[in-house]
Structure 1
């Protein structure tokens, strides 16, 4: 198990340094300190090891928002704000992991096995956001609100902010990113977000 984790970590480091296509078995071996045979022993091939890296990134991201969504002590607005804050948490939003994420995205169309792990948020995430917005819509008796369109808008905004981080990580401000998201939510659901704190 330890060797397996070590190989996944080394492969992730290699992708960060060299990109997907520059990540060779030799480079993974060098970074891991393990023999080439270990890749085949634990994964069967380098391609399956790279897929395991994508799966690990996806799982780490999902653990963040699922823990919040399942918390019975939070109301829908608090859950939504907490999920947005988690999107800017260094645990998932850091230069190394985001660079790896975008490297996988560059290969997604030519490798359908990768696509489910790096799609624009999976169906589960989208369903949770839409359900929270429907609850907020019902609580506030908002008229002319389309929860699906609001979900699409919020996810597109988060995607754009991740791209901005990827390109400008040295000047990206998570607190400012949170303010942008809450500003948009305020425009749609003013009864729920007008008094919310804008701090991470």
Structure 2
């Protein structure tokens, strides 16, 4: 899986061949075919593997978060922009699969911008934060959509300008948006999010 991910990152999906994969992995062609019926099966397996890695790392950040929903949201944003998750390899692979998802639905489940697991996690967090608002569900939906759009924009910026990308600045920008929606729940101190007492 990791060898295939490396090849996709380096060459893109169109130029990912079983020959390149077995050279990178140091395995025989027969070993690859033993576990995967086709190249597409292997690619879908890698997409699933990358998605599982993302959520495992995200869970690590969430396990360290404080008890407030604001703490959980900060953990989600911090994780998504972290060196553990947002890397040159991960962003290359993500965009490779996204390009293919337009013509191959098998990849869509792992590269969709409307990924249910992440969207629901963010939405439920915002719903807790917005509980005292006039229309908490609508506010939580709008905040979720805006946050995901901002995070995706940050991934695009990293993809195009990783040498100039600043993770702290990216996080601050996301929380400027969040603090504008929920001033009672977030404040910006020293360039980062603070939770009012």
The answer to whether TM tops 0.5 is yes
For the residues of structure 2 that align with 1:45 and 1:191, how far apart are their CA atoms?
53
**Mapped contact 1:164–1:172 kept (Cα < 8 A):** yes
Q: 1:131 aligns with which of 96, 120, 124?
A: 124
Work out the CA distance in 1 between the residues paired with 2:104 and 2:175: 36
Q: 2:48 aligns with which of 55, 62, 65?
A: 55
- Unaligned 5+ runs, structure 2: none
Q: Rate the CA distance shift 1:28–1:37 in 2: closer, same or farther, 3 A.
A: same
Which of 80, 99, 106 is the aligned partner of 1:106?
99
How do 1:156-171 and structure 2 match up within 5 A?
156-171=149-164
CA–CA separation in structure 2 for the residues paired with 1:166 and 1:72: 28
Which residue in 1 is equivalent to 2:38? Answer: 45
How many angstroms does 1:143 deviate by?
4.0
1:1-200 paired onto structure 2 within 5 Å: 8-68=1-61, 73-138=66-131, 141-143=132-134, 146-194=139-187, 198-199=191-192
Counterpart CA distance in 2 for 1:86 and 1:77 is 14
- Unmatched runs of 5 consecutive residues or more in structure 1: 1-7
Deviations 1:132-181 (A, max 9, x none): 1111112xx33466211111111111111111111111110000000001
SS at match of 2:84: coil
Of Structure 1 and Structure 2, which has the larger fraction of its residues in helix? 1
Aligned length: 191
C-alpha distance after superposition, 1:15-67 (max 9, x if no partner): 11111010011111111111111111112222111111111111111123345
Secondary structure class of the residue paired with 1:114: helix
CA drift at 1:74 = 2.0
